[in-house]
Structure 1
Amino acid sequence: MKHRRRFKQQTTLQDRVAAWAKEVQEQAAKLPPGPERDALLKKLRQVDVASHLDDWMRSPGLQPPI
């Protein structure tokens, strides 16, 4: 049976996502308008949505279904 290698993250998901988003935004700013830049901006929007969903899921106002 294979054992799964465990890795304890040193930073929170939000911190990692924010750092990655900043890096992608800087890369997109350096590119001229075109499909490659559009793809990076699309990934950036997806990360933004994921970040908002994570915030919503962690909010104290979220109640479990009855």
Structure 2
Amino acid sequence: MRTRRRFKQSKTLSERLADEAARCREEARALAPGRRRELLLRKARQDETAMQIDAWLHSPGLRTPT
């Protein structure tokens, strides 16, 4: 059985998502309107939504559902 290659992340998940969202938006700005641009903007929005969910999950006011 193969072992998994593991490494520690140097940035937090939120930082990585923010970097990826900014990169996608910057790349989309350079493109003409079209499918590729829309896909990049969608990816940026998904990254931003993931950042909000991560922040919500790590918020101190989060309680277990009852």
Which TM-score applies when normalising by structure 1?
A: 0.90
1:51 equivalent to 2:57? Answer no
- 1:65, distance to aligned residue in structure 2 (A): 2.8
Which TM-score applies when normalising by structure 2?
A: 0.90
Larger RCO (alpha carbons 8 Å, 6+ apart):
2
Consecutive aligned runs of 4 or more in structure 1 exceeding 4 Å deviation? none
Structure 2 residue matching 1:64: 3-state secondary structure: coil
CA distance in 1: counterparts of 2:16 and 2:34, whole angstroms: 27
User: What is the Cα-based RMSD across aligned positions, in Å?
Assistant: 1.0
Same amino acid, percent of matched pairs: 47
Letter in 1 for 2:63: Q
